Amino acid sequence: MADPTRKRVVVTGIGVITPLGQGIATFWENLLAGQCGIGPVTAYDTEGYACAIAAEVKDFDPTPAFPSPKEVRRTDRFTQFAMVAGWEAINDSGLDLATANRDRIGAFIGSGIGGLSTMEKQHKTLLDRGPGRVSPFFIPMMILNMASGMFSLYNGLRGPNIATCSACATASHAIGEAWRTLVMDDADVMLAGGTEAAVNPIAMSGFDSMKAMSRRNDDPQHASRPFDADRDGFVMGEGSGVVVLETLEHAKTRGARIYCEIAGYGNTADAHHMTSPAPGGEGGARAMRAALASGGLNPEDISYINAHGTSTPQGDVCETQAIKTVFGDHARRLAVSSTKGATGHMLGAAGSVEMAVCCKALETNIVPQTINYDTPDSDCDLDYVPNKPREMEVNAIANNSFGFGGHNACLVAKKFK
């Protein structure tokens, strides 16, 4: 049960960099319009690669969030995504850093993989030109904590600062731990989320060798099809999502616009297998139950679940089973959708971009659709909001994120009252 005396935490700002566009307004409009950001890979020559499709961020300009172009060149693409998403989130929130107490503002921005492109390039330099030609910026560009560290550096945020890394649960863990930080009164404001830039040869080859990715190279717009009977794997996406979380009293004092209230958070481990989910989605079910309990919510209070829903044969079934385990008969009345058909799977950034979706669903009473849902699967038999967004009363949501290593995270949020 939620402690009625604990600090309440609200979302006041959102920033996203996605294959469907930059900024929450553009992203939300394109998502509801049924657009898909997946296409042939343009980042490198895919000849000889079994998987040649991805959801790439196009026409990205990182310079507004950096002090100078030189500083941009000293960061990996994953850090650049986070810098711009965080900058947008601050602007969206109306937070004035010039007058704020930045000792009480922190950042938890994680990444599942970090600067893999930088590592790939510098390793080639090492082999081709020798150790003396490896860049002195190689390590700070590559390590995955640098997005969180550089964001705090450039914005003078001196409060709590860490970088979560839990594969595809990374961003949801970052938001959940930031929520806990505010509940414990260790900060007044936290920027939290995830970032990923893994559309590169080594990452794509590694995931494909696991048979985890779709190979529908001839039909990329329909390759990611969560919960559909013809799904054959996920499609790599890239981008970043950052949300501004504040204690309610801090937000009210400055007259902030409030999207919703973060009510609870669940964090569990499968302790089952390196990559496969526990049978029946048991670990994910415990995360959902923990999130509901910490938020003082009953299963019947939830209107919408943004599912992890990656379009993998086993994962989608296990998540469906977990939802039915936790929600019982109410599972049939829930709207459950996955936005990964449109964005691809953004790995460590997925949970934060999907939290942005949940915030907008609570704000607008519109639930986004699961695109490419054409053929029902008897093992995935819930209401997945197929192919068209739905207007409905959205009072409370759950946001699921599950990662390799058996990491499970669930966030619950509700309309602010």
Assign a CATH topology to domain 265-414.
Peroxisomal Thiolase; Chain A, domain 1 (3.40.47)
Average pLDDT over residues 5-15: 95
> What are the pLDDT digits (tens) for 227-265?
999 999 999 999 999 999 999 999 999 999 999 999 999
Provide the phi-psi class of 387: left if phi over 0, else alpha when psi is between -120 and 50, else beta. left
Run of H or E residues at 78: helix 77-93
Average pLDDT over residues 30-37: 98
Residue tagged 């979706």 (tokens): 357
Identify the bridge partners of residue 17 per DSSP, sorted by sequence position: 22, 240
* C-beta neighbour count of 207 within 10 angstroms: 18
Please check whether the two domains, 9-253 and 265-414, share a CATH topology: yes
Three-class DSSP category at 252: helix
pLDDT at 12 over 70: yes
Between β-strands 366-367 and 21-22, what pairing exists: parallel, antiparallel or unpaired? unpaired
- Residues acting as catalytic residues: 168, 308, 345
Closest CA to 27 of 16, 12, 14: 16
> What are the pLDDT digits (tens) for 283-318?
999 999 999 999 999 999 999 999 999 999 999 999
Three-class DSSP category at 36: coil
Between β-strands 366-367 and 390-391, what pairing exists: parallel, antiparallel or unpaired? antiparallel
Helix locations, 191-241, DSSP H: 201-209
> What are the pLDDT digits (tens) for 184-203?
999 999 999 999 999 999 99
> Looking at residue 2, what is its pLDDT?
65
Q: What are phi and psi of 355, to 5 degrees?
A: -70, -35
Whole-structure pTM value: 0.97
pLDDT band at 1 (very low <50, low <70, confident <90, very high): low
Domain boundaries, the chain: 9-253, 265-414
> What are the pLDDT digits (tens) for 326-385?
999 999 999 999 999 999 999 999 999 999 999 999 999 999 999 999 999 999 999 999
pLDDT at 5 over 90: no
For domain 9-253, the CATH architecture is 3-Layer(aba) Sandwich (3.40)
